[in-house]
Amino acid sequence: MELGWLLWGTAVLLLLHVLMELSPSVNFALRIGFYCVLCLVASGLAAAACLLVNGGRTVKNMRIIRAVVRTFKYFFGVRFEVKGLENFKVEGPAIIVSNHQSILDMMGLMEVLPDNCVQVGKKELMYTGTVGLITYLGGVIFINRKSTSSAKMVMSEVAKTMVAENVKVWVYPEGTRNCTGDLLPFKKGAFHIAVQAQVPVIPVVYSSFTTFYNPKTKLFTSGKIKVEILPPIETKGLTSDDVTDLTDRCFNTMRETLFRLSGRPSEAKDSS
């Protein structure tokens, strides 16, 4: 009986292996499917640990989530080369902005996430089963992207609470995933919060995934991600009139860094 199961299991694994070798789209679908299952299972386990250790929704749970997600890279052969971690060592709260390429970014996020830091996320994430539960327990700030006024209200509230509670807030200013090797124009919410709260902006840049991950061509192999945490940009004394300049400055610095880290020649043109 047990031998039968073993033979069936081996046959299924062999079949999957052959399919993966033969078809890049099967390979891609299986690897992404595995990533999603891993997220769902790991979130369930992490949620239990968070509830047992901290009892409910708190930024302290991010330490547990970070420890769990940091193991994911070993399953996918993803390696990180991190520079500039010392730039996170600013006193008190800050806004962290980074480029956003894929759902795989959760690995890169947790690889460098400082203590006492929560992310801004789309509210739809709440409805992704255990992943929704873990984002809730970790203190993720949910925004409704379909309603500018409600998103702006939530962001303004964040500007007040982040100072009162001494937390850093991680925002993806492109507002959506973008795996083209370039940046989308930045939305200004993150920079409004930074100016309203008078806290520094810390840019974080991940090199382009396109050499090892590309959903369009169904490419997903192992690969190296370079991460650079750039020096904080101060906002003390800035007003809402300076938000556009601050956004452009950050965009240009991050775009240059993205091209440098990805080995792509820089373009002279200013795309702001």
Catalog residues that contact ligand UBL under the rule CB under 6 A.
Answer: 36, 39-40, 100, 103, 105-106, 122, 128-129, 131, 176-177
- Pick out residues in 5-64 that bind ligand MYA (CB under 6 A): 39, 42-43
DSSP state of 108: H
Query: In the complex, which residue's CB is closest to ligand MYA?
Result: 189
Closest to 168 in 3D by CA, of 177, 153, 158: 158
**CA 217 centroid distance within chain:** 22
Sign of the CA dihedral running 172, 132, 89, 101: negative
Query: What is the smallest separation between the CB atom of 192 and ligand MYA, expressed in angstroms?
Result: 3
The yes or no reply on residue 199 touching ligand MYA (CB under 6 A) is no
Contact by Cβ (8 Å): 103, 177: yes
Query: Distance (Å, rounded) from C-alpha 194 to C-alpha 232?
Result: 11
**Of 173, 200, 203, 232, the one binding ligand MYA by CB under 6 A:** 173
Closest to 118 in 3D by CA, of 70, 59, 166, 49: 59
**Closer residue to ligand MYA, CB minimum distance, 39 or 229:** 39
The yes or no reply on residue 121 touching ligand MYA (CB under 6 A) is yes
With CB under 6 A as the contact rule, which of the stretches 19-27, 29-37, 86-94, 117-125 interacts with ligand MYA?
117-125
Query: Distance (Å, rounded) from C-alpha 27 to C-alpha 265?
Result: 31
Residues that bind ligand MYA (CB under 6 A): 39, 42-43, 65, 69, 100, 106, 119-122, 131, 134-135, 138, 140, 143, 145, 148, 151-152, 155-156, 171-173, 175-176, 187-190, 192-193
